Every structure is written in C-alpha cells, then in structure tokens.
Structure 1
Amino acid sequence: MAWVVLVIAGLFEIGWAVCLKYTKGFTQLWPTVGFGVFMVASVYLLGVAVKTLPLGTAYTVWTGVGAVGTVIVGMVLLGEPTDIRRLVCLGLIIVGIVGLKLVSPH
C-alpha cells in the first residue's frame, strides 16, 4: 500500500509543477491555490509512504515519478521537444525507479 501512496504522491507532484508554470510568479490566484493544494497533498502522502518505505528510496521514487510525469505533460500538452534523446533519458529515469522498487525491502 505504501507504494501506491507514493505513486499518488508523485502524481500530485506533477500537479503542483504544472500549476507552478501557470502561477506567473505567484501572481495568478487559482494556479497558485492549485499549486499549494497539490504540494501539500504530495508532501503529506510522501510522509505517509516513508513510515514504511526507506527514506532514500521513497524520496527518489517520488521525485522520479514527478519528474518523468512533468516532462511527459510538457511534451504532450505544452509543446515541449520530444526528440529521441529526451525519451532515452526519461527511460533511464524509469529504469531507476523500477530498479529501486525491485530492490526495496518492502
């Protein structure tokens, strides 16, 4: 269950990163509110996950899920580049996340 909570925390991290793009330096109310809500939810769920999972593993997976998801959102919705080099790098991050899950004691 901790792994599910951790992945959900990573998804909320994607949410706050995307909201951050639209806050325009925290001058736009609703994106700023969304940023705060997603960030609090993400960190709270990370805290729940680290009750069971090793801190280093949980933090790395959390940031990895957030990073990969944010890059994918950027490519799919925001028109960011999708060249093969970026996709290979994303693949390497995903391999690292899966590897940590496989070697985790929980």
Structure 2
Amino acid sequence: MSMEESLRKIIQEENKKHLEDIERMLQSHGYKAQPKFLTVEETAKILRIGRTATYELCRQSEHNGLPVVKDGYKIRIPYNGLMTWIDQQAKPTKQAN
C-alpha cells in the first residue's frame, strides 16, 4: 500500500468517526432525519390541512408549484422540495404601483 493510499484510508476513517459523532450529537438534541419523499398523509400533517385538500394541491401542482412525483397511482412529495415550497408561499408578494 502506498503512502497516498494509507493517508486516504486514515482520513476516511477519521471522517467516518466525526460523522458518527455529529449524528450522535444531533440525536441527543432531538433531531430526526426526514425521509426523502413524503406520502400525501405525511404532507397533510406537515401542512396542517386535510388529506383531501392535500390531494387537491397535488392535482393543481402545475399551477401552484408544489413539487409532486407521480408513480402510477402513488403520489410522493419530496421533503426538501416541500420545505422550499412552504418558504416561497410565506414570502410577501410585491404589489404593483
């Protein structure tokens, strides 16, 4: 094993240890990793609206910008996309003079 390979292995091991430490610290403070994709029901809970209203938002996603992934009959909403969409909805709109 060359010196360069040895250094890479040591660095990878150290990085792995640091990542594990960070994950433990986050968990100790109550942080929970979020799933990459949400169901309609999970999205409804986050938005604090009903399931029917969430389905309607998904149906109108081309007009309202809600990120939706359709897989046959299944509807999934990307978690990060939903958070961005919520932030965009909360921004004040500019009014024309």
Q: Is TM > 0.5 for Structure 1 vs Structure 2? A: no
Structure number having the greater strand percentage: 2
Structure number having the greater helix percentage: 1
Larger Rg: 2
TM superposition score normalised by structure 2: 0.31
